Amino acid sequence: MTTETQASNDIEVRIEGTIAIVALNRPRVRNAMNDEMRVDLIAKLDALSRDDQVRALVITGNGDAFCAGGDIKSMQARLQADPGQVAFNGWQRQQRTHHAVTSLHNFGKPTIAAVNGAATGLGADLAFCCDFVLASESASFAMTYIARGLIPDGGGMYFLPRRVGLAKAKELFFSCRKVEANEALQLGMADRVCPHDQLLATAVSWATEMSGGSMAAIALTKSILNQSFEHGAEEVFAQGSQAQAICYTTAEHRASVEAFLTKRAK
C-alpha cells in the first residue's frame, strides 16, 4: 500500500492505497471553518473527484476535534461590518458553504466521516452529508445554530431529518444539546462507533470495502439514491433505466460477465 501526503494550508490530503483521507487542519481553533478553508476544501474535493486512482474518501479532523463549526472570528467581523454589506457578504459566504457541502454530498465515490471529536454546527453538517458516519468513542455532535441566533444553514435541515426523523431533528436543533457517540449511534446520527485509536484504520478498511465494486455503478447508484426521497417511484425507475444503460457499456460490466461465463464453462 502506498501513502502520499499533500498538505496545503488548512486542508490536508493523504492517499492510502486507493483511499483519500481529507483532514481539516486548523487544530488550534478546533478546525473551525473560515472562508479560506471552505475554498480550499472545494478545490481538494474537485481534484480528488477527478483522480481515477482514488476510489473512496474519508474526511476527519486533525487534533482533538472534528470541526467546531463556523469560525467565531468571521462572526465577529460580520458584526463590525458596514450594515449595507452584511446581507450580501453573508449571501456570498452561504454560497461557498453550500458549494462545499454539496461537493462532499455529491462526491461520486463512497464517503465516510471519521468523527474524531466534537462535530458542532457546520461540523456536524459536514459529517451528515457523507454517505456514512463513523464516530470514535470520543466523538460528540451538537447542532448549536439556534443558540447563536442563527438557523441551521450548513445542510443539516436536509440531512439530519433523513437520519433521525423529523421530530427528533427538531428536538436536536431546538435544544442545541450535545449528543455523545453511543447515543448518536442509537439515534442514527452515526452508523458505527469504534475505539478512538482505531478510528482511521477502521474508516480506511470500511471505505475499501465500500469501494470494491464497479466505480461507474457506485457513482450512478449514489446519484439516484441521493435524490430518491424527493422523487416518486417512476422518476427513480426512469433514472435507473438510464443509469443501467450506461452500465451495460462499461468495461467493468463486460469483464464481470466474461469472467462469470469463463468460470461456468470450466
Is there a single domain that holds both residue 192 and residue 105? yes
Is there a single domain that holds both residue 88 and residue 63? yes
42 pLDDT exceeds 80? Answer: yes
Q: What is the pLDDT of residue 83?
A: 77
Is there a single domain that holds both residue 53 and residue 131? yes
For residue 22, what is its C-alpha cell? 481529507
pTM (two decimals): 0.92
Q: What is the pLDDT of residue 62?
A: 98
Considering the chain, what is the average pLDDT of its residues? Answer: 93
Q: What is the pLDDT of residue 75?
A: 62
**Closest CA relative to residue 141, chosen from 222, 235, 57, 68:** 68
Query: Which of 210, 240, 256 delimits the end of a domain?
Result: 210
Is there a single domain that holds both residue 166 and residue 224? no
Is there a single domain that holds both residue 39 and residue 87? yes
Is there a single domain that holds both residue 161 and residue 247? no
Domain that holds residue 98: 3-210
Per the CB < 8 A criterion, the answer to whether 120 and 152 are in contact is no
| Cα 60 from Cα 57, distance rounded (Å) | 10
CATH code for position 245? 1.10.12
Is there a single domain that holds both residue 235 and residue 206? no
Q: What is the pLDDT of residue 74?
A: 65
71 pLDDT exceeds 80? Answer: no
Among 1-5, 79-83, 226-230, 255-259, the least confident range: 1-5
CATH code for position 173? 3.90.226.10
Per the CB < 8 A criterion, the answer to whether 190 and 184 are in contact is yes
Q: What is the pLDDT of residue 88?
A: 84
**Closest CA relative to residue 159, chosen from 177, 137, 141, 175:** 141
132 pLDDT exceeds 50? Answer: yes
Average pLDDT over residues 220-238: 96
| Cα 252 from Cα 255, distance rounded (Å) | 5
Alpha-carbon distances of 157 from 97, 115, 176, 184, rounded to whole Å: 14, 20, 14, 17
> Could you give the number of structural domains in the chain?
2
Is there a single domain that holds both residue 235 and residue 144? no
Is there a single domain that holds both residue 143 and residue 231? no
Is there a single domain that holds both residue 244 and residue 198? no
The pLDDT tens digits for 154-213 are 999 999 999 999 999 999 999 999 999 999 999 999 999 999 999 999 999 999 999 999
**Closest CA relative to residue 101, chosen from 36, 158, 161:** 158
Q: What is the pLDDT of residue 7?
A: 44
Is there a single domain that holds both residue 228 and residue 201? no
* Three-class secondary structure assignment of the chain: CCEEEEEECCEEEEEECCEEEEEECCHHHCCCECHHHHHHHHHHHHHHHCCCCCCEEEEEECCCEEECCECHHHHHHHHHCCHHHHHHHHHHHHHHHHHHHHHHHCCCCCEEEEECCEEECHHHHHHHCCCEEEEECCCEEECCCHHHCCCCCCCHHHHHHHHHCHHHHHHHHHHCCEEEHHHHHHHCCCCEEECHHHHHHHHHHHHHHHCCCCHHHHHHHHHHHCCCCCCCHHHHHHHHHHHHHHHHCCHHHHHHHHHHHHHHHC
**Closest CA relative to residue 69, chosen from 126, 114, 17, 108:** 126
| Cα 29 from Cα 169, distance rounded (Å) | 27
Is there a single domain that holds both residue 72 and residue 181? yes
